[in-house]
Amino acid sequence: MGGLFGTLLVLVSAVAFGFMGLFRGWAVGSGGSTATVLALRFGLAAVALWVVVAAKGGRVPRGWRLWALAGMGAGLYFGMSLCFFTAIDYGVPTGLVSLLLYLYPGIVTVLSWALLRERLTRGRLVALGVALAGSALTVGPVEGVSGLGIALGVGAAVVYSIYILMGTRAMEGAEALPASAVVVTGAACSYAALAVAQGPALPTGVMGWAGVGGLALVATVVAIVAFLAGLARVGPVRASTLSTCEAATTVAVGWLLLGERISPVQAVGGVLILAAAVLTARASVGRGE
C-alpha cells in the first residue's frame, strides 16, 4: 500500500510541476515581469515551507551546510529557473523547454566523469547516447524560435546538473524538507534583488494573482512536499522515473491550454530524452547508488 501511495505522491508532484508554464502564463500575461513573479513565487513558497517545517519539527541545517544550501538556492536554483523562464520569454514552447531540462541526467553523467572521475558504465553510455540523439531531434527541427531561447533551455539543464552535484554533498545528513526551505529562501532573496534592480512589475487581476498563487503553492510547495513524501516510500530510482511525467504534463498543458505545438520529430526527440533519464536512473541503481 505504501508503494502505491508513494507512486501517487510522486505523480502528483510531477503533474504539479508540469503546470508551471500555465501559471507563469497567467501571471506574466497580466503584466507581471518574470523577475517579480518568480520573487513572489519563491517568497510565498518559502513562507509556506517554513510553516510546514515548524509544524513537523524539522531540524534546520547548521554551519557550512546551511550556507551551502542557501548559496545553492541563491545562485544555482535561481540561475536554473531564470534560464528556464527566460527561454519561455524568448518564445520557446514550455513543453520544449521542459524536455530540454531533462537532459540533466546525461549532463550529470558527463560532469561526474570529468570532475569526479566516476566510471562510465555501459548502461550510462547507452543512456548518454540516447539523450544526445533525443536532443538533436528536439532542437534540430526548431524553426522561428530564438536560438538564444534554445541555448537558455539547455543552460537550465546544465545549471541544474551542477546544482545536483553540489547538493549531493550538501544534503548529506540533512533533512530534505528543511533543506528545501533553505534553498527556496535563497532563490527568493536573489529574485527579490533582481526584481528591485529591474523595477518591480506586479501582475494584475484575478488571473494574474491566481498564477502567482499556483506557482507558489501548487508548482512549488505541493510539488516539493509530495515528491519528498513519495521519495521516502518508493526510493530514488522509481521516483526519478515517475518524475519524467512532469515533462509529459508540461507538453500536454502547453498543447491543450496554451495553444503550443511541437512537431512529430520533436516529440520523438522528447521521448528519447525521457527514455534516457529512465535509463540513467536504472543504470545508477545497478551500481548501488
Query: Cell 519561455 sits at which residue?
Result: 88
- Predicted confidence (pLDDT) per residue in 189-211, tens digit: 999 999 999 999 999 999 999 99
- Would you place residue 287 in the very low, low, confident or very high pLDDT band (cuts 50, 70, 90)? very low
* Domain boundaries along the sequence of the chain: 2-286
Which of the residue ranges 182-191, 204-213, 231-240, 280-289 would you say has the lowest mean pLDDT?
280-289
- Determine the 3-state secondary structure of 263 from DSSP: coil
CA-to-CA distance for 289 and 284, rounded, in angstroms?
A: 5
Are 214 and 258 in contact by the 8 Å Cβ rule? The answer is no
Q: What is the pLDDT of residue 21?
A: 92
Are 100 and 157 in contact by the 8 Å Cβ rule? The answer is yes
Q: What is the pTM of this model?
A: 0.87
- Predicted confidence (pLDDT) per residue in 118-149, tens digit: 777 888 788 888 888 887 777 765 566 778 89
Residue 182 or 2, more confident = 182
Q: Would you say residue 19 has pLDDT above 90?
A: yes
CA-to-CA distance for 93 and 150, rounded, in angstroms?
A: 10
Are 93 and 142 in contact by the 8 Å Cβ rule? The answer is no
CA-to-CA distance for 76 and 92, rounded, in angstroms?
A: 22
Are 247 and 30 in contact by the 8 Å Cβ rule? The answer is no
Q: Taking every pair of C-alpha atoms in the chain, what is the biggest distance, in angstroms?
A: 54
Q: Would you say residue 241 has pLDDT above 60?
A: yes
HSE of 162, CA atoms in CB hemisphere, 13 A: 14
- The three cell numbers locating residue 32: 507581471
Q: Which amino acid is at 197?
A: A
Q: What is the pLDDT of residue 77?
A: 94
Which has the closest alpha carbon to 223: 7, 16, 9? 16
Which has the closest alpha carbon to 94: 25, 12, 187? 25
State the average pLDDT for the chain: 87
Query: Cell 536554473 sits at which residue?
Result: 80
For the chain, where are the alpha helices, taking DSSP H only? 2-18, 20-29, 34-56, 63-71, 78-89, 94-101, 104-116, 122-139, 147-170, 176-198, 205-213, 223-234, 236-243, 245-257, 264-286
Which has the closest alpha carbon to 182: 82, 61, 57? 61
Mean pLDDT for 181-191 is 96
